[in-house]
């Protein structure tokens, strides 16, 4: 069981970031990513942001490489013991302009403790403002195909974990249609160290392709004021999830990460409407009805 | 030391809510508060919301009265032991339309454990989008005058606690110009049970008067696009504070409170701009320079 070197992983992650940026730029067709390097006590990173695109309002694809003390809080969160940790990862969120296009999120990360324990985490999930059943089914099918290439358990297991993770208990709703989510994955999962690393890397590479396919089907009809308001409301739920529940955001903020990079996940705009309830039977109500855990997208086709 | 009956306190708090609504309506001069009663397993409450006012975009003044299990998490947060708790409180946030008018927040609350321990918490703080030094000084002076009527230690102590509490560590900035904040206040503070209750009640009554005075000085000049954007950015910081740091919000969400009431604190709209830095010397930069702990507003006049 050969452990892969931390710097090798970080290097490859950086390349995944780079490739994703080029593919997303191409899919958008207008704006390009600006690049900001940051250096803090905890480590370094490159924040890449595309703004005011053709189809994309704001996209962030971040890379970071950090080392620090594995605090009691982190140990509790991870359920692991160690004195120091190293971590590297790529994370991305894309907020499209059109309310009929979904928000997408991807993260791949590698953690290592000084006791030689290590694990990967990550996932991809989709948050439509309006759920398009066909799109959701296709998205899940692609994730399943990808996972099945590595292990038959991966898709069902990681799909369920996404349902659990991307959930707003105070709203009794999922963030979107889910996807896959995994954490603390190491060779216990049945893959060799190199095969496991390949799974994580290729997931990073799958991400821009998945979203490029979605962007190809951008609706030609302009959104109405009503649809834009609904988008702003759904974006407020995205804010709530990320600031109230997301472990990555909390970890980043608590560990002294780069705030502007971490909070690039925030939508460009969000609106809160008191006690908003969609008209029965409306597209908004139909979306609400599908923001549920445990929907079997694959067999919904 | 006569302990005041829980229902008496709750009753009085409800009257404070009612009075505040009438005074804020009068100060706004256009909209009125709608009233929603809610009932959940944990208790009952009345959510009162004013929207689309003349000077006010959204105001919430909430009352609630809850009872429940004092969970391990709550015990840890409060540093107290007990099996069951009762709590009642009034909390309010007002988001004005004009960026030159400040956001204001008030909370008074009473907690009781089944072991007969009890305490009050609360405070008032001001969050200008653009800091007006004269307004901030006047606001603090009013709070000091009020506190001094009860105990000479109250203002300096509670002012410092507000500085500590209304702070965004990830931004290295205070939420606004602070005010007063207190928690776990009981007869240890030197006041009798009835005098202490009077302090808390009168603070609730001071609140609408303080804000009515501020609304009287609404600027006549319409805000520019630039000023409105800055307001939207400052509002995003308000969102970050409330969802990432505010104990009241976290407690409310974790204890199964009424989500729509708790999150009425959210601004109507918020915007996130990546890496925004105000022009040196601009009014925005001047505001940033004053978002600091420990400013001695009283002696700044």
ipTM: 0.93
For residue B1, the model assigns a pLDDT of 52
In a domain, B1, yes or no: no
B283 falls within a domain:
yes
**Per the domain annotation, does A199 fall within a domain?**
yes
Q: Do A88 and A65 contact (CB within 8 A), yes or no?
A: yes
Read off the pLDDT of each residue in B212-237 and give the average, rounded to a whole number. Answer: 96
Domain presence at residue A1: no
Task: Give me the CATH number covering residue B262.
Answer: 3.40.1500.10
Considering the domain boundaries, does residue A163 fall inside one? yes
pLDDT tens digits, residue range A125-170?
Answer: 999 999 999 999 999 999 999 999 999 999 999 999 999 999 999 9
- pLDDT band for position A301 (cuts 50, 70, 90): low
CB B103 within 8 A of CB B155: no
Residue ranges making up the domain that contains A14: 6-300
Rounded to whole angstroms, how far apart are CA atoms A228 and B71? 41
Residue B190 resides in a domain: yes
Residue pairs between chains A and B whose CB atoms are closer than 8 Å: 64
Q: How confident is the model at residue B254 (pLDDT cuts 50, 70, 90)?
A: confident
Q: Which of A51, A240, A253 sits opposite B274 (nearest CB)?
A: A51
Residue B301: is its pLDDT beyond 70? no
Residues 6+ apart with CB under 8 A from A225: none
* pLDDT of the residue at B260: 94
Q: Do B239 and A36 touch (CB under 8 A)?
A: no
Among residues 152-191 of chain B, which lie with CB inside 8 Å of chain A?
170-171
Residue A83's contacts (CB-CB under 8 Å, 6 or more residues apart) are: A69, A70, A113, A114, A115
The predicted model gives B85-92 an average pLDDT of: 96
Give chain A's mean pLDDT: 95
Q: With an 8 Å Cβ cutoff, are A170 and B51 in contact?
A: no
* DSSP β-bridge partners for residue B31: none
**Measuring CA to CA, which residue among A288, A272, A94 is closest to residue B243?**
A272
Q: Would you place residue A72 in the very low, low, confident or very high pLDDT band (cuts 50, 70, 90)?
A: confident
Cα–Cα distance for residue pair B57/B51, rounded to 1 Å: 6
Q: Tell me the pLDDT tens digit for each residue of A94-134.
A: 999 999 999 999 999 999 999 889 999 999 999 999 999 99
pLDDT score, position A257: 82
A270 chain-B contacts, CB cut-off 8 A:
239, 269-271
Contact call for A260 and B275, based on CB within 8 A: yes
Contact in structure between B187 and B151 (CB atoms under 8 Å): no
Mean pLDDT of the region B162-181: 98
**pLDDT > 70? residue A185:** yes
A220 or A123, which is more confident: A123
Q: Phi, psi at residue A250, to the nearest 5°? A: -60, -45
Q: Which of residues 27-56 of B touch A (CB under 8 A)?
A: 36, 49, 51
Distance from CA of B263 to the nearest CA of A (A): 9
pTM, to two decimals: 0.95
SS (H, E, C) chain A: CCCCCHHHHHHHHHHHHHHHHHHHHHHHCCCCCEEEEEEECCEEEEEEEEECCCCEEEEEEEEEEEEEECCHHHHHHHCCCCCEEEEEEEEEEEEECCCCCCEEEEEEEEEEECCCCEEEEEEEEEECCCCCHHHHHHHHHHHHHHHHCCCCCHHHHHHHHHHHHCEECCCCEECCCEEEEEEEECHHHCCCHHHHHHHHHHHHHHHHHHHHHHHHCCCCCCCCHHHHHHHHHHHHHHHHHHHHHCHHHHHHHHCCCCHHHHHHHCCCEEECCCCCCCCCCCHHHHHHHCCCCCCCHHHHC
Would you place residue B131 in the very low, low, confident or very high pLDDT band (cuts 50, 70, 90)? very high
Task: Kindly identify which residue of chain B lies nearest to residue A232, measuring between CA atoms.
Answer: B269
> Cβ of A253 under 8 Å from any chain B Cβ?
yes
Q: Do B275 and A263 touch (CB under 8 A)?
A: no
Q: Is the dihedral of CA B266, B268, B272, B273 positive or negative?
A: negative
Show residues of chain B in contact with A259, CB under 8 Å. Answer: 170-171
Residue A202 inside a domain? The answer is yes
Mutate to test the interface with A, among B243, B254, B276 (most CBs of A within 10 A): B243
Q: What confidence tens digit (pLDDT) does each residue in A221-262 have?
A: 999 999 999 999 999 999 999 999 999 898 888 878 889 999
Rounded to an integer, what distance in angstroms lies between the CA atom of residue A110 and that of residue A179?
A: 20
Structure tokens at A271: 């609106």
- On whether any CB of chain B is under 8 Å from the CB of A269, the answer is yes
Helices B193-216 and B6-28, packing angle to 10 deg: 10
B233 touches chain A (CB under 8 A): no
Interface test with B, best of A45, A272, A275 (most B CBs within 10 A): A272
Which pLDDT belongs to residue A145? 98
Query: Tokens 């009503």 sit at which residue?
Result: A226
B83 in contact with A, Cβ within 8 Å? no
Q: How close A1 comes to chain B (CA, Å)?
A: 40
Cβ of B269 within 8 Å of Cβ of A270? The answer is yes
Count structural domains, chain B.
Answer: 1
- Secondary element (H or E) of residue B160: helix B154-165
User: Is A105 part of the annotated catalytic residue set?
Assistant: yes
Residue of B251 and B263 predicted with greater confidence = B263
- Please provide residue A256's backbone torsions phi and psi, each rounded to the nearest 5 degrees: 75, 35
Helix axes A133-148, A193-216, angle to 10 degrees: 160
Domain membership flag for residue A296: yes
CB A193 within 8 A of CB A112: no
State residue A73's pLDDT score.
82
CB under 8 Å to B291, separation ≥6 — which residues?
A: B131, B173, B174, B175, B176
Residue B78 pLDDT more than 70?
yes
Integer angstrom CA distances of residue B112 from A105, B46, B77: 44, 20, 15
B196 burial via Cβ count (<10 Å: 0-12, 13-18, 19+): buried
Task: Say how far apart CA B139 and CA B300 lie, in whole Å.
Answer: 12
């Amino acid at each position: 069981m050969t452990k892969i070197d931390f710097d090798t992983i970080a290097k490859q992650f950086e390349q995944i970031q780079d490739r994703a940026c080029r593919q997303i730029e191409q899919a958008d067709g207008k704006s390009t990513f600006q690049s900001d390097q940051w250096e803090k006590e905890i480590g370094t990173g490159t924040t890449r942001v595309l703004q005011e695109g053709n189809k994309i309002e704001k996209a962030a694809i971040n890379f970071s490489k950090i080392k620090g003390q594995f605090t009691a809080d982190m140990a509790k969160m991870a359920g692991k013991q160690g004195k120091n940790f190293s971590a590297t990862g790529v994370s991305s969120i894309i907020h499209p302009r059109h309310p009929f296009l979904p928000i997408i999120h991807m993260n791949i990360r590698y953690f290592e403790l000084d006791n030689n324990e290590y694990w990967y985490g990550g996932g991809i999930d989709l948050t439509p403002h309006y759920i398009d059943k066909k799109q959701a089914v296709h998205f899940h099918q692609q994730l399943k195909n990808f996972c099945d290439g590595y292990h038959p358990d991966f898709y069902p297991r990681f799909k369920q974990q996404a349902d659990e993770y991307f959930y707003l208990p105070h709203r009794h709703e999922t963030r979107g249609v889910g996807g896959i989510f995994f954490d603390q994955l190491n060779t216990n999962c049945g893959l060799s160290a190199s095969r496991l690393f390949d799974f994580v890397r290729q997931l990073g590479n799958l991400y821009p392709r998945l979203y490029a396919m979605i962007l190809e089907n951008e609706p030609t009809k302009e959104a109405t004021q009503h649809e834009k308001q609904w988008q702003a409301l759904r974006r407020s739920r995205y804010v709530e999830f990320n600031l109230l529940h997301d472990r990555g955001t909390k970890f980043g903020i608590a560990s002294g990460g780069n705030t502007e990079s971490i909070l690039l996940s925030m939508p460009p705009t969000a609106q809160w409407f008191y006690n908003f309830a969609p008209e029965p039977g409306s597209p908004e109500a139909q979306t609400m009805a599908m923001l549920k855990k445990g929907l079997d997208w694959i067999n919904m086709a």
